[in-house]
Structure 1
Amino acid sequence: MVVPWCPRTAAAVLTVLTVLALLTVSGCGGSGLPRPAGTSPSASVPDPGAGDSVEEDIDAAVSITTTYWSTHWSEFFTGAYRPPRVLGAYDGAAAGGPSCGGTPLPDDNAVYCPGGDYVAWDMDLMRAGHRRGDAWVYLVIAHEWGHAVQNRLDAGLVDLARELQADCLAGAVLFGAARDRTLTFEDGDTDELADALSALADATPWTNTSDHGDASQRVSAFSRGAESGVRGCLPDAVR
């Protein structure tokens, strides 16, 4: 992905939606944010070649995400938009790191901490994902930001499938940013988004509030947000 926007046709955006909607690969299991299959900080994965560093893409993803919400919040919700604090990078394997509710932040993961109202990510996870494709970090940050948005909403607006709703909101943000011309999708971003959603999926379908859902469900939720926007991510009763 590239910032700022370079003009593209609407057909390019629809192509991304089509590919994501057709993807039905199975995911892999794990607790919290599931570990990508075959990926670890030392895993051998393809190098994306020339382009922005992971830190530059993280900064861009944070800027795009909070800009989208600050610009569009009042279209969907009452009250003023208040962004979460960006704690940013941490090392989950190191002693004495940050915590949430007295519990150390998880290794190789990304989180939104309600008590501290902050988003954070283990850099090992981000570096490993970035080697798969730069779209990874945009997805992870938009997803965790989605949890911050949920924490600001009335309970009736928060879907029981919280993780899938966060995927939906991530799709709404990234494609909304494209419509705002603050972000463009490059060739390959479609596959990278599908890969990230699948790699970070659970082995089984969604059954309770802690589940992320399997790959097909995650892709479907993200695609719904990309196509229908934020309103498409709200529970049926309030759409």
Structure 2
Amino acid sequence: MRAVEASASAKAALLEEELEQGQRPPEEVERILFHLSRYTRAAAIARLLAYADRATFRERLVRSGEARRRLLQWAAGARRPFNRFTATGHYGPLCDALAAGADTLAHDIARLSVDTPVKGHEFEEDFLYARLLGLMATGDDSVPGRAEPLLDALERVMNGQDFPRLAMCRTLLAREQEGFDAALQALLDERDRHFHAQAKSFTPKDEEAETEPFIFVEGLALLRLAARRGLTVQTDYLFLPSLARAN
């Protein structure tokens, strides 16, 4: 894992150097910032796994979120159409900010994100889930009529299919303990099945694929949202160690 940490850190540093090299086509800027967030998150997880370095883990999660905020701010300033790099359904950096305890950063990412899906570049369920996470991150879920249409739309899109994230959003919004516990376990089980299936494939792995199975950053974000809503969360869960949790 130390080699993975070094590789992800080096790739993130190279992307930062690319940004400093002057004018680039708009899509190239977006690509660089998008992947800067990915590699910084991978470096964060690898650092935690290799060195049990909580401080650097959180610092790098914040840097991942900052890359996303910079991307969205740049795109807005350049009046760029939302696209495969800026689509709201890429909610990983939002979760990075939440998991790190960087609430202002999470607010900024949520409020800069577009409120319509980018057709052809994101699944509608990812877009709707990201919008619900954004509402909870900003506290806007308490505004009447904001969350309910998104929940209803997500239910329609899934059309009876098993989707633990829908149950998670419903129970977080309702502040319902038993439902939260069940939804979190269902999400952990789904994730475990997903990575077991991936392990049997021969798909080449990059730093993100090498780190994501071991620390569930999205889950860390959900635990923070739950705690902020007065729900009880355990000290440790599988893939959600206390070492990785923000205070």
TM-score (norm 2): 0.28
TM-score (norm 1): 0.29
**Larger fraction in strand:** 1
Q: Which has the larger radius of gyration?
A: 2
Q: RCO (CA 8 Å, sep 6+): is it higher in 1 or 2?
A: 1
